[in-house]
């Protein structure tokens, strides 16, 4: 039934008064008192985060910064898997690109005990319980495998089992799970060589100082396709202790940022961003043979 305008106004006023009374008498929603702890919520917004510099997110990584993790040795260009992940985490936390500052931190210094100059560091750090004694880790952003690479003229070029690597001269970067994979999984009869960087290790492989090099699988694909002459992947190694190896962002031990950074990584996994970045930058890592 159509009401004249005065009647409609009176009805609207009566309804508003009634709703007001109901609202006033309704019990308070207890959830309103709970803090928003999502990565995009107030607890994790830039103005509330205890970063090294107000309004700036300081991210560390090593130099040189290698593909496919970084491109052109420039972490700030957003190119390469880890550069892209770092900027995605920053955006999830509410920082724009011009609010991100990169600093150079060596691999070993980043995971050594003591205060850090960065808010988080991204540099293919495998999450281990031993390292948790010195630093915090975010939620994992990438599941990784280790692999053995060599050149076609190497004595291990045709190896298909761990046993065939027993007499090999192997090497890896110092302080890495790649080196641990040699000592714990392959257990060669020859003491493995340790190198400050993968560049040094690659040169040793090229000049025949070592027979093979252990690196993470994406690095293995890049080195064998772009850096080594006649480079080949011998095979992937089984997981250490049967546990999936995962990369995480490194933070100060007991950092006030750890929860928010982890929430940001979790959000990127749930919305598919990590999978998209992995496909774009690391999608070529399928098909490497398994060493048994």
Domains with residue ranges and CATH for the chain: 42-144+246-283 (3.40.190.10), 146-238 (3.40.190.10)
Mean pLDDT for the chain?
A: 88
Mean pLDDT of 61-86: 97
How much is the average pLDDT of 168-194? 96
Position 128 pLDDT exceeds 80? yes
- Res 121: pLDDT: 98
**What pLDDT sits at residue 39?**
52
* pLDDT exceeds 70 at position 9: no
Mean of pLDDT values over 205-209: 96
Tracing tokens 């492989």 back to the chain, one arrives at: 205
- pLDDT, position 292: 92
- Compute the average pLDDT of residues 255-269: 98
Give CA separation, 58 vs 39, 112, 256, in Å: 17, 18, 14
How far apart, in Å, are the Cα atoms of 22 and each of 16, 27, 32, 86?
10, 10, 18, 48
Provide, rounded to the nearest whole percent, the portion of the chain with pLDDT above 70: 85
Mean pLDDT computed over 165-192: 96
Tell me the C-alpha distance between 268 and 265, whole Å. Answer: 5
Its pTM surpasses 0.85:
no
pLDDT of residue 42: 73
Residue 160 token pair: 């298909």
Taking 90 as the threshold, does the pLDDT of residue 100 lie above it? Answer: yes
- Model pLDDT, residue 240: 85
Residues with Cβ within 8 Å of residue 287, at least 6 apart in sequence: none
Winning range, highest mean pLDDT, from 15-24, 37-46, 87-96: 87-96
Strand partners, 56: 53
pLDDT at 135 over 60: yes
Q: Which of 230, 211, 121, 217 has the alpha carbon at shortest distance from 166?
A: 211
User: Are the C-beta atoms of residues 201 and 149 closer than 8 Å to each other?
Assistant: no
């Amino acid at each position: 039934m159509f009401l004249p305008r005065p009647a409609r106004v009176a009805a609207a006023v009566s309804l508003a008064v009634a709703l007001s009374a109901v609202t006033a008498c309704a019990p308070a929603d207890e959830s309103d008192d709970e803090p928003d702890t999502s990565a995009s919520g107030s607890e994790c917004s830039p103005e509330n985060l205890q970063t090294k510099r107000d309004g700036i997110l300081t991210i560390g990584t090593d130099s040189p910064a290698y593909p496919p993790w970084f491109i052109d040795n420039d972490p700030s260009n957003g190119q390469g898997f880890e550069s892209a992940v770092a900027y995605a985490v920053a955006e999830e936390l509410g920082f724009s690109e011009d609010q991100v500052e990169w600093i150079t931190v060596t691999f070993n210094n980043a995971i050594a005990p003591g205060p850090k100059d960065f808010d988080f560091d991204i540099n293919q750090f495998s999450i281990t319980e031993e390292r948790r004694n010195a630093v915090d880790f975010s939620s994992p952003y990438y599941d990784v495998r280790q692999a053995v690479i060599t050149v076609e003229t190497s004595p291990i070029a045709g190896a298909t089992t761990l046993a065939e690597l027993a007499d090999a001269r192997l090497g890896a970067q110092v302080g890495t799970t790649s080196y641990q994979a040699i000592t714990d999984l392959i257990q060669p009869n020859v003491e493995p060589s340790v190198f400050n960087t993968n560049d040094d290790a690659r040169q040793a492989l090229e000049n025949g100082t070592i027979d093979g090099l252990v690196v993470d699988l994406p690095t293995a694909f890049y080195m064998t396709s772009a850096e080594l002459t006649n480079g080949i992947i011998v095979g992937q190694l089984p997981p250490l202790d049967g546990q999936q190896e995962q990369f995480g962002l490194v933070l100060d031990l007991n950092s006030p940022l750890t929860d928010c950074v982890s929430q940001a990584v979790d959000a990127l996994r749930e919305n598919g961003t990590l999978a998209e970045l992995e496909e774009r930058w690391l999608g070529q890592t399928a098909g490497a043979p398994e060493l048994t």
